[in-house]
Amino acid sequence: MRIISKTSKEKKVIDETKKHIAQVGENIDKVINVLKQKAKDHDKSKLEKEEFPGFLEYTDKLEHSTYGSDEYKEFLKGLKPTLDHHYSVNSHHPEYHKDGIDGMTLIDLVEMYCDWLAATKRHRDGDISKSIEINQKRFKMNDQLVNIFKNTANEIK
């Protein structure tokens, strides 16, 4: 429906709404730009001298194990020095933050979720829903955040 004649009050509401829409768009663009930079920089530390030898030794082993299994956990023990460094320089890991997930930003959470999703593709039996369940216990995530992650998985399938 098209309004032909607009009152000054209608014009003001239309102008304010358009301004609001533009501001929201600018804010979304800012978030997208930060996420694009995160995408470029994601896990670059794995290719550096502090981490590369450990990931060289364990990547195949982890790939052929089931996420969260006892075998997987044993491999993580062997990879601990490498992971300690990795977590200390990558804010998308809860271990980076003194308060775990509670210390993370929305940007960190999005990168973490995308990391989990990609990691499921590295395991022969990877499953994002199962990963979310395992990580709920591992990182003491509340049900609300878990539901957001599950809803996101359903939306982007």
Query: Is residue 14 assigned to a domain?
Result: no
When computed from its CA atoms, the radius of gyration of the chain, rounded to whole angstroms, is 21
Residue 5, pLDDT score: 65
Determine contact, residues 128/117, Cβ cutoff 8 Å: yes
Query: Is residue 132 assigned to a domain?
Result: yes
Residue range 30-70, pLDDT digits in tens = 999 999 999 999 999 999 999 999 999 999 999 899 999 99
Residue 89, pLDDT score: 98
Determine contact, residues 146/132, Cβ cutoff 8 Å: yes
Indicate the pTM of the whole model.
0.89
Residue 110, pLDDT score: 98
Determine contact, residues 139/103, Cβ cutoff 8 Å: no
Determine contact, residues 132/116, Cβ cutoff 8 Å: yes
Query: Is residue 101 assigned to a domain?
Result: yes
Query: Is residue 15 assigned to a domain?
Result: no
**How many domains, the chain?**
1
Query: Is residue 105 assigned to a domain?
Result: yes
Structure token digits, residue 63:
């790939």
DSSP string, 45-113: GGGSTTTHHHHHHHHHHHHTS-TTSHHHHHHHHHTHHHHHHHHHH-TTSGGGSTTGGGG--HHHHHHHH
